[in-house]
Amino acid sequence: MPTCRRELVEDESETDDAAIVGDEAHIVAREVDGPRGQSTLTADERDKYNNLVLMCKIHHKVIDDQENTYTVEKLHEIKQKHLDWIAVNLSLDIQKQRDEEIYASYVDRWLELADLENWKAWSSWILSGGQPVILREMYNNLRELNQFLLSRVWPKRYLELEKSFKNFRAVLNDFINVFDKYKKAENNDLDCDFTTEKFYKRLEDWDEVAYREISNKFDYHVDLVQDLMLELTRAANGLSDSIRRDLSPSFRLTEGVLLVEIGPDYSLTYTTKRLESLEEFPSYNGL
């Protein structure tokens, strides 16, 4: 607010990092029935930087209680004036801001192409039924994400964050390459989803030894694809941790970590698993 000069971030001490003590307020509410919630903004756009403003707890309540006074336009005006005031009075580190905006744009693209909102759903097609399947749109998005991350220009400000991005891409690259080895369109239809070919069915004449050998090869391939999907989940959760540490402490706190569903097992039971980086093996070491 124009007249408010309360501290929103406590300086770091000798033992602790800096802490945000203000509130991350939504200009257009996250929920449609919230303050200023009637808008054409999508659910994702409501959580983006352009729709957020950092305020003290007192003024956060004021703007939400008096939404007729504090309209969307008024809050954007207040936010811009505050940014201008910071630039003039607080010697804002412009390069730091630019670097963080670059990282934020990479995070937004990662969120979109990896479809974190539906991670458990799309990954379950890979981890269930003994024959990995990827929806065609998801497969194309993963290939695009692989190339996107490979081609990024990194600011080299938050090295652990960059390492987490690169770790995720390393797993993703191996996952795509392994899945591609026996990938085929279902029903040989170019508009269908991709599945793992049961290549043991190529055997034309019955040969028990040959069949057992190629069947074991198929099982190994399926296990490897599924293991890489689990490793990709672990890498995604590790990247989310890095984003919370370096960019946004509240990143996906409401949604929580990514989970996967595996099964059915021999008892026809599905299991939900949580996968996070192991202290002794924090990064992916490749195949």
In this structure, how many other beta carbons lie within 10 angstroms of the beta carbon of residue 273?
11
pLDDT mean over 47-54: 86
Q: Are 167 and 235 in contact (CB under 8 A)?
A: yes
Angle formed by the axes of helices 94-114 and 208-246, nearest 10°? 150
pLDDT tens per residue, range 170-184: 999 999 999 999 888
Question: Residue 15 pLDDT > 80, yes or no?
Answer: no
| Confidence at residue 143, expressed as pLDDT on a 0 to 100 scale | 98
Q: What is the pTM of this model?
A: 0.65
| Nearest to 235, CA basis, from 284, 175, 287 | 284
Q: Please give the radius of gyration of the chain, using alpha carbons only, rounded to the nearest integer.
A: 24
Percent of the chain with pLDDT over 90: 45
pLDDT mean over 176-205: 78
| Confidence at residue 7, expressed as pLDDT on a 0 to 100 scale | 57
CA pair distance 240, 232, nearest whole angstrom:
12
